[in-house]
A and B are shown apart, each in its own frame.
Chain A
Amino acid sequence: MPTLTRWFIKTSFIYLALALVASLLLAVQPLLNLTSLGELFSVYIHLLVFGWLTQLVFGVVFWMFPKYSTEKPRGSESLGWWTYALLNVGLILRAIAEPIQSVHSNPITGWTLVISAALQFLAGLTFVLNSWNRVRVK
């Protein structure tokens, strides 16, 4: 398995664990009156579906999809690393800023969310750009 795929998959496992921690916090939030933690549901869903599931898919696609060419079997490796970086920086910024913004709305977390949104979108775009030509009919 390529190095980039290993990073995608291992990072996705960490997000799976973090998502379940977030779900635990969601469960205890009303019981312990932890409203200061802010809105966690969106963070939980995105850690699970984006951080774990989609990131796992990205890693496996990079590894298993048909080869792009003999010289570049997996397309652009550097674009793949950009996808990894954009996805994870975007998601971490979101996981930090979104709960804060929900209870103490301010320009810093507000613009952090805008940057996070752009990074996550670019992660999807770079993934599609790198994978599109590997979807080949044989």
Chain B
Amino acid sequence: MPRLSAWFVRASMIYLLAGFTLGALMLAQDGISYDPAIMTALPVHIEFLLVGWLVQLAMGVAFWIFPRFGLGLPHSRGNVKLMWISFLMLNAGILIAALEIWFASLLLMGRVVEIGAVTVYIVGLWRRVKPHGGPA
């Protein structure tokens, strides 16, 4: 798989572990009530698993397997720089949004960065939604 997809996928696996850790701590709290404050992590648990894990994994795999503009050509996967920007923005957005636990106002900023990341990603991948070997 291309380097960018590997970064997307590995980052998604890190968020999977982080999200599962928070989820396990919250579920255990439901069971034996050791520290009610852990329940404030619920939005971060959701953020990590929906955007960090599932959305990011899908973005990485799509960049890898979607039809290319001719095998072996230098820009066969389109504008890779644009997609790296999307990767960086997405992860910045997730981390900024996660800081809402301490700074509620950062949620808005995180969401805006995430929307930017996804917009850049869609622009970068749009023309690869095409038949294999066919025109964009």
Residues of chain A touching chain B, judged by Cβ–Cβ distance below 8 Å, are 49, 53-54, 57, 66, 94, 97-98, 101, 109-114, 116-118, 120-121, 123-125, 127-128, 131-132, 135-138
Instruction: Kindly state whether residue B76 has any CB partner on chain A within 8 Å.
Output: no
Inter-chain contacts of A116 with B (CB < 8 A): 27
Of the A-B pairs whose beta carbons lie under 8 Å apart in the complex, a sample of 27, sorted by A's number, is: A57-B57, A98-B30, A101-B31, A109-B31, A110-B32, A111-B32, A112-B31, A113-B28, A113-B30, A113-B31, A114-B31, A114-B32, A118-B24, A121-B21, A121-B23, A123-B20, A124-B16, A124-B20, A125-B20, A127-B16, A128-B13, A131-B13, A135-B1, A135-B6, A135-B13, A136-B1, A137-B1
Instruction: Kindly state whether residue B25 has any CB partner on chain A within 8 Å.
Output: yes
B119–chain A nearest beta-carbon distance, Å: 24
Mark contacts of B3-43 with chain A using CB atoms, 8 A cut-off: 1 yes-contact digit, 0 otherwise. 10010011001001100110111011011100000000000
- Residue with the greatest number of chain A CB neighbours at <10 A, chosen from B16, B23, B31: B31
CA distance A132 to B17 in the complex (A): 12
Inter-chain contacts of B70 with A (CB < 8 A): none
B42–chain A nearest beta-carbon distance, Å: 10
Q: Please classify how large the interface on chain B is, using the bins under 10, 10 to 19, 20 to 34, 35 or more.
A: 20 to 34
Instruction: Kindly state whether residue B2 has any CB partner on chain A within 8 Å.
Output: yes
| B49 pairs with A49, CB closer than 8 A | yes
CA distance A123 to B10 in the complex (A): 17
CA distance A112 to B72 in the complex (A): 54
Inter-chain contacts of B24 with A (CB < 8 A): 117-118, 120-121
Question: What's the dominant secondary structure at chain B's contact region?
Answer: helix
Inter-chain contacts of B3 with A (CB < 8 A): 137
- Residue with the greatest number of chain B CB neighbours at <10 A, chosen from A98, A114, A131: A114
Inter-chain contacts of A135 with B (CB < 8 A): 1, 6, 9-10, 13
| B17 pairs with A125, CB closer than 8 A | yes
Inter-chain contacts of B21 with A (CB < 8 A): 121
Residue of B nearest to A113 (CB): B31
CA distance A98 to B49 in the complex (A): 20
Instruction: Kindly state whether residue B54 has any CB partner on chain A within 8 Å.
Output: yes
Inter-chain contacts of A125 with B (CB < 8 A): 17, 20
Kindly list 14 other residue pairs between chains A and B, CB separation below 8 angstroms, not including A113-B32, A128-B13, A132-B10. A113-B31, A114-B27, A116-B27, A120-B20, A120-B24, A121-B23, A124-B16, A124-B17, A135-B6, A135-B9, A135-B10, A135-B13, A136-B1, A138-B2
